[in-house]
Amino acid sequence: MVSLKVFFFLLVYILALSHRFSPTEASRAFFVFGDSLVDNGNNNYLATTARADAPPYGIDYPSHRPTGRFSNGLNIPDIISENLGAESTLPYLSPELSGERLLVGANFASAGIGILNDTGIQFVNIIRISKQLQYFEQYQQRVSSLIGPDETQRLVNSALVLVTLGGNDFVNNYYLIPYSARSREFSLPDYVRYIISEYKKILARLYELGARRVMVTMTGPLGCVPAELALRSRNGDCAAELLRAADLFNPQLEQILRDLNDELGADVFIAANAFRMHMDFVSNPTAYGFVTSKIACCGQGPYNGVGFCTMASNLCPNRDIYAFWDAFHPSERANRIIVNQFMTGSTEYMYPMNLSTILAMDARTK
Ligand SMILES: *[C@@H]1O[C@H](CO)[C@@H](O)[C@H](O)[C@H]1NC(C)=O
Ligand SMILES: *[C@@H]1O[C@H](CO)[C@@H](O)[C@H](O)[C@H]1NC(C)=O
């Protein structure tokens, strides 16, 4: 019976060891690149007008204070972190992002930016995507001096990455003003082909920098946000021209993700169909517990879609029953519906697989 005792002791010991050393989901780093839909507060540190650092932003955040997130509470990356069992990633420019906290990952996103460098120029000082990628390199150097180059590479290779780009290349560039420079230069189909080819380079660079699990969001129904309803819609229908833009952009984006995966021989890039995720509650808000998907909770003018959300704006008492928090950005509850689809959606929402499948798969291969 001694040998059995020893056996059990060893078994318990091995289980304890494997538990201690197998990377738990909490230790999986998370990196975020993109625009205001995913910015956790980088723009607070910049001299720009694209910011969400004043009330009532953050009214439903745990601290009830503005953080720079374009939400009444949590945003999409926060809720993904929650699902990973991790704390939210800090903005890369935050002075708190140092030491051990670097190992959680980082958020490089900056409100107002797009695929193109001239997108969002009216916001002056924002972190364009090429700069976000440079910061990612700098981040890796900083982590390397903490845990060494091999462990750093392992951390980056096993990390989850989220990229959200493209919406601003329409609303804050091509369609920003009538006869914008880009709209005089390109027909819409040619413009989409151009930004898609630039996007492919950005994603390829991300792979070069070590990213191996990259969720890329399609653009949402841009024509249906309160700002565009206020600007372009007579009867409350989604603005047709912007829907056409999304219609051209999304299938081509999905195609380059497939092409990249084929070239790399692995499912590195995952298409998150944000158009469908949004359209579900935009077209049938009551089915999702919203009283409206047209009127923003915070704002003024038609659909509360004109200008910024400030202390002087109309503010709805219950943010959970509004699909849109401000003229462009979903409420926390809408963000939760979106992230639920990230986690468990069918291939029509997450292609080729959802996040719970990724997490289960990667846990097996470790
Ligand atoms: C944007 O600017 C960066 C840095 O100057 C440059 O490397 C990149 O090629 C530019 N992108 C485009 C699409 O012009
Ligand atoms: C997504 O997640 C659910 C639940 O975790 C799973 O049953 C389903 O098969 C997954 N779908 C895909 C396409 O990965």
Domain range list for the chain: 25-365
35, 78, 169, 326: the catalytic one is 326
Q: What spacing in Å lies between the alpha carbon of 47 and ligand 2's midpoint?
A: 43
Q: 198 CB under 6 A from ligand 1?
A: yes
Predicted confidence band of residue 158 (pLDDT cuts 50, 70, 90):
very high
- Residue 18: pLDDT over 60: no
CATH 3.40.50.970 fits 25-365, yes or no: no
Residue 356 alpha carbon, nearest atom of ligand 2: 5
Predicted confidence band of residue 366 (pLDDT cuts 50, 70, 90):
low
pLDDT for 27 equals: 74
- Mapping DSSP to helix (H, G, I), strand (E, B) and coil, where does residue 351 land? strand
Catalytic residue list contains 63: no
Q: How many helices (H) and strands (E) does the chain have?
A: 12, 8
Lowest mean pLDDT among 4-13, 126-135, 302-311, 334-343: 4-13
Cα dihedral angle (185, 253, 134, 73), rounded to 10 degrees?
110
Determine contact, residues 68/91, Cβ cutoff 8 Å.
yes
Q: What spacing in Å lies between the alpha carbon of 117 and ligand 1's midpoint?
A: 6
pLDDT for 24 equals: 44
Backbone φ and ψ of 172, nearest 5°: -110, 25
Q: Whose CA is nearest to atom 11 of ligand 2?
A: 346
Mean pLDDT value across the chain: 92
Q: What pTM did the predictor assign?
A: 0.92
35, 36, 81, 331: the catalytic one is 36
- Residue 25: pLDDT over 80: no
**CA angle (212, 215, 216) in 5-degree steps:** 120
Write the burial class of residue 26 (CB in 10 Å: 0-12 exposed, 13-18 middle, 19+ buried): exposed
